[in-house]
């Protein structure tokens, strides 16, 4: 009787390896856009002294400062809550 192989020996053809447009899209709707990777590499590899999470300008600074404010505010809130919780209850 012999053992059966665990994996199938024949593999189905790839359906995403074609250059045909998806059904319902016209041939003019192309998903091939300008490659932005080289431009972003230039931005992120520039030696301007900024950390990588602040390289894209104002939106990055806004997100960074909001995150830092929430972190510091949350830490202060937790410390105050722990201080209040550690106080003996008055009867």
CATH number, position 73: 4.10.91.10
Distance between CA atoms of residues 4 and 54, nearest Å:
56
Domain count, the chain: 1
Residues with Cβ within 8 Å of 63's Cβ and at least 6 positions away in sequence, in order, are none
In a domain, 28, yes or no: no
Distance between CA atoms of residues 16 and 13, nearest Å:
9
Q: Tell me the Cα Rg of the chain.
A: 28
In a domain, 30, yes or no: no
Distance between CA atoms of residues 79 and 16, nearest Å:
54
In a domain, 84, yes or no: yes
pTM: 0.53
In a domain, 82, yes or no: yes
The pLDDT profile of the chain, 91 residues, written as one tens digit per residue, is 567 767 666 666 666 655 665 666 565 555 566 788 888 899 889 898 888 888 989 999 999 999 999 999 999 999 999 999 999 988 7
What domain range is 65 assigned to?
A: 49-90
In a domain, 54, yes or no: yes
């Amino acid at each position: 009787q012999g053992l059966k192989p665990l994996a199938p020996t024949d593999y189905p053809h790839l359906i995403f390896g074609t250059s045909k447009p998806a059904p319902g899209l016209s041939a003019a709707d192309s998903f091939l856009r300008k490659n932005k990777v080289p431009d972003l590499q230039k931005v992120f590899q520039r030696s301007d002294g900024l950390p990588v999470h602040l390289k894209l300008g104002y939106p990055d600074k806004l997100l960074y400062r909001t995150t830092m404010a929430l972190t510091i505010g949350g830490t202060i809130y937790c410390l105050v809550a722990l201080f209040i919780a550690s106080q003996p209850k008055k009867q």
